[in-house]
Amino acid sequence: MALTKKSLYMLAWCTIAANPLFSDKWLCAETWYRLINARYPTLRYTGQDNASVDRGQLTTALTTYYSSDAASGLENPNGVYYAWFKHDDPYTGKPGRVHYFYYDSTKENKPTPPRSWRDVADPYAKSVQMVERRVQVVRNRNNAEEAKVERSIRALVDKKNKDDNERLIKARNAGSGGLDGMDEDDDDDSNEDDKSNGEEKLNNQNHMGWLSSEAGMLFLGSKDADGDVVDILQERIGNLTKVLQVNGYKSVLQSADDDGAELNDHQKWHIGQKAIYLREAYKLALEKWGNQVNWMSICIEAIDRVKEFGYSSVTSPRTVMDYNKAFRKDGLFPHPCYTIRLGKPPTPQVFEHFPQLPVRIKDFMLKNQAHFSVELLRTELQQDMFPALVDECKKSDGYEQDEGYVLAQHYIDKPPSYSTVEKKVDGKVVEDISLRHMMGKCTDFAEEVSQLEAIGKKLGCSVIITTKYHAEYAGEGIEYSWGLAKCFYRRQPLSKKKKKANFFALVDQCLSQELLTKDMVRKFSKPCLS
């Protein structure tokens, strides 16, 4: 028995709702109606002898026979729920009753009863493609019911065409000259019917996948990103193409015009390579993504295409995917220089709360440079500097909620240790408790140049590569001091070297002023000065 048009609309709605892009979401009745007509465009040609189905009839059929009111709390065996609210229509803007439908694909994820229309806001209603009716829905090949719907639609269309032709022949034989109700444009309509019988060629840029939160996350870096993903990708392809021009890298580089942001030749080449691979991947995505083609397979094909042009710097699709992650949020690659990328020099959090702390650290290092060690500074921080900062914080009201107080107290309870500098959490060095990081931000030491570089600067030349810098050139016998400390360490019993606490205590003893006295340091420096 042939399906009527009403039955076809119901079956067509079920196949659309089963699509992962539209299931488990609240969509208004107008969105469902437009999706049905986008997926099955020939449905509107299915005969005059079948009742015409409009939006109201579709909504009535769904609410009466197929779904349950979400506010009732009752479970629906079909997994379909509805809700309605009086507010402005999301498409026309006119006030009225708007129905929403929800399909539970698992039959176990019943929606929470909505309290207002904001709880069931349609994510597709405001999209440009849906409003302008230029959306297309690709076939869900995992759903066999779609093929059944298409066959039924074709059967109804064929029946309509056959009946119209028979009536046209009878009318001509009767001398009426045509079919009642037909105008001069009916020939064009029949041509459209013929074109509609076959599967229409889909424009991949119009399918609903581009409106999903997955597309926004993949290409724009956020599920709630504003703007049309297709239009933004097309714009970014144009920007990536400009990289091949002179200084074109600035169009896709963060803070490209800031002071000191100029790149060297290798960095410019690297930006160009990123742009070439990412541009090709975006072009392929606009052609193929979403129709059973995932992002990784597109990156693999992009690498193969670029290889035909003579480029072979990238071999793994993961690399292209990483390029996209760095580029997708703002359409810019991050600047290679960490300072320019952040807009300020990387500073430990404790230095931001206590600007006087680096000054105290420098003074301590300069006063104890003859026998300085990181463990010596660690002890000073734990016993004197951080307690002094805590005492300063306690002088103000409400100090317990002050971030500076909490941070300083944390360093007292868990002091930074030199032995944990290289340990990482989630692959990243914890810089806020790294003494090496703190010392590296002391500009007196971070900007210090070698003796060879200093002499070269005076002579008017630059030293790009230099050999290992020895303190003996500057008149300091540091290696003599190290040798003395090493010999003393080797002479100590093994019991003093076992356990972490004993080891650190022995190292402090080897570097102490009792062993390396001022007279001994001067004695070691004398041959260097001569």
The neighbouring-strand residues paired with 88 are 95
Which tops the pLDDT comparison, 51 or 21? 21
Residue 360 near residue 388 (C-beta atoms within 8 A): no
Cα torsion at 457, 460, 465, 468 (round to 10°)?
A: -40
Judged against a pLDDT cut of 90, whether residue 205 lies above it is answered with: no
198 pLDDT band (50/70/90 cuts)? Answer: very low
Retrieve residue 467's tokens: 């050999």
Q: Which residue has the tokens 């230099």?
A: 466
Q: What is the mean pLDDT of residues 330-343?
A: 78
Retrieve residue 490's tokens: 């080797």
State the first-to-last Cα distance of the chain, in angstroms, to the nearest integer: 111
Which tops the pLDDT comparison, 344 or 367? 367
Judged against a pLDDT cut of 50, whether residue 487 lies above it is answered with: yes
506 pLDDT band (50/70/90 cuts)? Answer: very high
In this structure, are strands 26-28 and 68-69 parallel, antiparallel, or unpaired? Answer: unpaired
Instruction: Report how far residue 477's alpha carbon sits from residue 370's, in angstroms, rounded to the nearest whole number.
Output: 10
357 pLDDT band (50/70/90 cuts)? Answer: confident
Judged against a pLDDT cut of 50, whether residue 420 lies above it is answered with: no
Considering Cα of 329, then 247, then 245, then 338, what sign does the dihedral take? negative
477 pLDDT band (50/70/90 cuts)? Answer: confident
Helix count (H) and strand count (E) of the chain? Answer: 23, 6
Determine how many CB atoms are found less than 10 A away from the CB of residue 286: 17
Q: What is the mean pLDDT of residues 82-94?
A: 86
pLDDT of residue 529: 65
312 pLDDT band (50/70/90 cuts)? Answer: confident
Q: Which of 150-164, 345-359, 513-527 has the highest mean pLDDT?
A: 513-527
Instruction: Report how far residue 360's alpha carbon sits from residue 431's, in angstroms, rounded to the nearest whole number.
Output: 19
Residue 233 near residue 282 (C-beta atoms within 8 A): yes
Judged against a pLDDT cut of 90, whether residue 278 lies above it is answered with: yes
Residue 135 near residue 206 (C-beta atoms within 8 A): yes
Q: Which of 101-105, 171-175, 478-482 has the highest mean pLDDT?
A: 101-105
Lowest mean pLDDT among 44-48, 188-192, 380-384, 507-511: 188-192
The neighbouring-strand residues paired with 424 are 429
pLDDT tens per residue, range 218-264: 898 888 777 788 889 989 998 898 888 878 888 888 876 766 677 88
pLDDT of residue 195: 43
Closest CA to 229 of 204, 211, 203, 206: 211
Lowest mean pLDDT among 139-143, 280-284, 362-366, 406-410: 139-143
Burial of 133 (0-12, 13-18, 19+ CB in 10 A): exposed
Q: Which residue has the tokens 């742009």?
A: 275
Instruction: Report how far residue 171's alpha carbon sits from residue 155's, in angstroms, rounded to the nearest whole number.
Output: 24
Q: Taking all residues of the chain, what is their mean pLDDT, rounded to a whole number?
A: 76
pLDDT tens per residue, range 22-50: 888 888 888 888 887 777 766 665 544 44
